[in-house]
Structure 1
Amino acid sequence: MKTGFLLSGITALATLTLLAACSSSVELRYYQLPQTAVVTVLPAANAPVLYVEPVMVASFLNTNALILQTSAVELHKTTQHQWAEALDQQLKRLLVNGLQQALPAYRVTSQQPGSDAMRLLVQVEQFHGQQQGIALVSGRFHLLKGDKVQSQSFQLRLPQPDEGYPALVDTLGQGWQQAITQFAAAVSSMAPVTNS
């Protein structure tokens, strides 16, 4: 009789533990940056080539977790809110697509080209939110063409229109598009394309 009661008690305790674990399990949410419409651009066969190097992100951003800055010196890696794809891969894909649209006279590629191509290297130092509802997008970019090198920083602070992680991701995406516009302007000024 005692054994049956003990087994019933253990079974009940195990069931309650399992139910408690299920009810308190955290639902993961996955995000990707807003995608821009891909427009097919066919530059001329002799169009100048712009090679986009892999985007480099700061080591604290090299994670699946979205990052939230909670004070001047504290960063929090979220556990429930994750990137659906590696951040550097998303940034590079959006960068190539955005530059193809902004620079239709150039052949923008992420494939290793010949030595005469202009090269763009982007280093992202901030790509996260602040607890006050601000999205931070900053870093440096370098354009290399022959023996010419142009380096510039970019720094964007954008207010989120709403609270929450979906609004943060949308705002970070807008910030990245604004940065791409800066990169395109620098390319155009460094190596303008003339119509012959």
Structure 2
Amino acid sequence: MKKFLLVALLVLTACSSESEKQYYQLPAGEGVIAPMNTDRVTAQRHLWLSHITVSDYLAGTGLVYQTSDVRYVMASSNLWASPLEQQLQQTMTATLSKALPGWLVSSQQTHTGQDKLEMAVTGFHGRYDGQVIIQGEWLLTHDERVVKRPFLLTLKQNEDGYDALVRSLAQGWQQVGLNIAKEVSLLE
């Protein structure tokens, strides 16, 4: 009986010492999502955000934090609520839709010959010096022309903690989208 009580006590202690998991979702940002017109979508231009890929170290469920110039930690209790690639795709589609009036921006191909945007994200994490890093490149195919641009955004994280990290990442990701929209709108 003493053995059973000791085992039960150890199990309860182990269970209570596990940290509670926290789940995070990128906020779309205030004023980013355009209201939907359910009657009819009329657009002069079409942009297909075909896919966004992330580096392997970002593809896990945990948020990533860089602890030194060469070391990265993947959080085990602070997790993305849905796959990061999916969140990046959804928020980028919303940002571009709002920033490109007169365009239909979609994550689905609507017809052949439309402009196509692909993105590769190689950095999307917090860093030991209080900075947030968003890095990668985008590739736009437009009228048989290809435009390729790198992006690197370093933002100051104003507060400590994962909530602030996720908000800063979302703010930076929105800025990347606005920068892409400026370049896309200049194409003829």
Taking structure 1 as the reference length, the TM-score comes to: 0.89
> 1:24 is matched with which residue: 13, 17, 23?
17
Is residue 129 from structure 1 mapped to residue 122 from structure 2 by the alignment? no
> 1:98 is matched with which residue: 95, 99, 108?
95
Give aligned-pair identity as a percent. Answer: 34
Kindly provide the amino acid, as one letter, of the partner of residue 78 in structure 1. Answer: A
Map of 1:73 onto structure 2:
70
CA offset at residue 88 of structure 1? 0.4
Which runs of 5 or more residues in structure 1 are unaligned? 1-7, 192-196
The farther-off stretch of 168-177 and 104-113 is: 104-113
CA offset at residue 149 of structure 1? 0.9
Map of 2:142 onto structure 1:
145
Map of 2:5 onto structure 1:
12
Q: How many residues align?
A: 184
Larger strand fraction of residues: 2
Q: Structure 1 segments of 4 or more deviating over 4 A? A: 41-44
Instruction: Return the alpha-carbon distance in structure 2 between the equivalents of residues 44 and 59 of structure 1.
Output: 37
CA offset at residue 105 of structure 1? 1.3
Deviations 1:112-169 (A, max 9, x none): 1322211111111100111221110010011111221111111001111101111100
Instruction: Return the alpha-carbon distance in structure 2 between the equivalents of residues 188 and 157 of structure 1.
Output: 24
> 1:35 is matched with which residue: 8, 28, 35?
28
Q: Is the 8 A contact 1:67 1:76 kept in 2?
A: yes
CA change 1:18–1:95 in 2 (3 A) is same
Cα RMSD between the aligned structures? 1.5
Map of 1:173 onto structure 2:
170
CA offset at residue 46 of structure 1? 5.3
